[in-house]
Amino acid sequence: MHRFFVAPDVLERRPIVLSGEQAHQIRRVLRMRPGERATLLDNRGWAYEACLVSYGDSDARFEIVRRWAATGEPRIHITLYQAVLKGERFGWALQKGTEVGVSRFVPVVCERNVVDDLSAAEQKRDRWERIIQEAAEQSGRARLPVLAPARTFETVVQVVSPGSTASGPLRLMLWEEEGATTLRQALTGCNFAMAASIEVLVGPEGGFTATEVGLAVQWGARRVSLGPRILRAETAGVVAAAAILYEAGEM
């Protein structure tokens, strides 16, 4: 069944009325017929099987058939601090990160960013949120990943007190110049039951500066590499998230 995230208050009404882009997709793109069913998700952990009963001039109307606890979310909560990238590359990172299982995205403006304006990044929020929602619906997620406001790198490393603890997040900085520790080595022996939250920092096209690396280490981040091959900025975070979830038994 096709999947759609719907606001909880919409699901409280009878019939359930979907409008706007969702109604257009149901009627014009998917060409669903009355009697066909879809899965509606409330982003709170519940899924609803719903039967399409009719169309209005600009909406689609459903009746609930049954409800169940939605699945598809990894136990490990990954926050991806991804440097804002030019063109469509940041959207690609959001899409693939959502498919893999990232729980939270934070757009970051670093010293070497091509896109270096926080307000310009925020202007893309609506489009980025649509990319996340479409990817979450397609990939079977039970909840929408959070898209936090864009931040400067200096703000990111001052958000919480420095240092990782047994109960705090494991922080990892992907750095192509790291020669001693790979991501796999950093995860070896990791108690994922204790490290339920993992934060990954990914730099821009030009990489992190030495100052940013130093600030991240003071913040408690561990520098790691992804091996002998250098990945593109939009690829590195997705690969890291997939590797973490694989090691945690979530893939």
Residue with tokens 């240092």: 163
User: Strand, helix or coil at 94?
Assistant: helix
Instruction: Render pLDDT for 3-62 as a digit per residue (tens, 0 to 9).
Output: 999 999 999 999 999 999 999 999 999 999 999 999 999 999 999 999 999 999 899 999
Pair 117, 218 in one domain: yes
pLDDT at site 73 = 95
- The DSSP secondary-structure symbol of 248 reads T
Kindly state the tokens that stand for 186.
């950093």
Pair 97, 195 in one domain: yes
Map 14-53 to HEC letters: CCEEEEHHHHHHHHHHCCCCCCCEEEEECCCCEEEEEEEE
Count Cα atoms within 13 angstroms, Cβ side, for 146: 12
Q: What's the pLDDT band for 159 if we cut at 50, 70, 90?
A: low
pLDDT at site 162 = 47
Pair 103, 169 in one domain: yes
| CATH assignment of the domain containing 13 | 2.40.240.20
pLDDT at site 164 = 47
Pair 91, 19 in one domain: no
Instruction: Render pLDDT for 109-143 as a digit per residue (tens, 0 to 9).
Output: 999 988 778 888 889 999 999 999 999 999 999 99
| CATH assignment of the domain containing 177 | 3.40.1280.10
pLDDT at 167 over 80: no
Output phi, psi for 159, to 5 deg: -65, -40
- Give the residue numbers spanning the domain of 217: 77-247
pLDDT at site 165 = 46
Pair 28, 124 in one domain: no
- Boundary residue ending a domain (69, 102, 127): 69
Kindly state the tokens that stand for 179.
């020669």
Query: Does the reported pTM lie above 0.75?
Result: yes
Instruction: Render pLDDT for 205-251 as a digit per residue (tens, 0 to 9).
Output: 999 999 999 999 999 999 999 998 999 999 999 999 999 999 999 98
* Cβ 113 vs Cβ 204: under 8 Å: yes
Pair 162, 98 in one domain: yes
Residue 45 φ/ψ region, left for φ over 0, alpha for ψ in the -120 to 50 degree band, beta for the rest? left
- Boundary residue ending a domain (69, 91, 111): 69
Pair 27, 120 in one domain: no
pLDDT at 69 over 70: yes
Q: What's the pLDDT band for 163 if we cut at 50, 70, 90?
A: very low
User: Strand, helix or coil at 235?
Assistant: helix
Q: Comparing C-alpha atoms, which of 74, 23, 64, 20 is closest to residue 42?
A: 64
Indicate the number of domains in the chain: 2
Pair 35, 89 in one domain: no
* Cβ 133 vs Cβ 5: under 8 Å: yes
pLDDT at site 190 = 86
Pair 129, 7 in one domain: no
Instruction: Render pLDDT for 184-193 as a digit per residue (tens, 0 to 9).
Output: 999 988 888 7
* Cβ 106 vs Cβ 148: under 8 Å: yes
* Cβ 237 vs Cβ 97: under 8 Å: yes
Amino acid identity, position 113: N
- Boundary residue ending a domain (39, 69, 99): 69
What stretch of H or E contains 134?
Answer: helix 125-139
> What is d(CA 76, CA 71) in angstroms, rounded to the nearest whole number?
14
Rounded (10°) CA dihedral 172, 110, 133, 141: 0
Pair 60, 152 in one domain: no
Pair 197, 237 in one domain: yes
> What is d(CA 251, CA 89) in angstroms, rounded to the nearest whole number?
24
Pair 163, 185 in one domain: yes
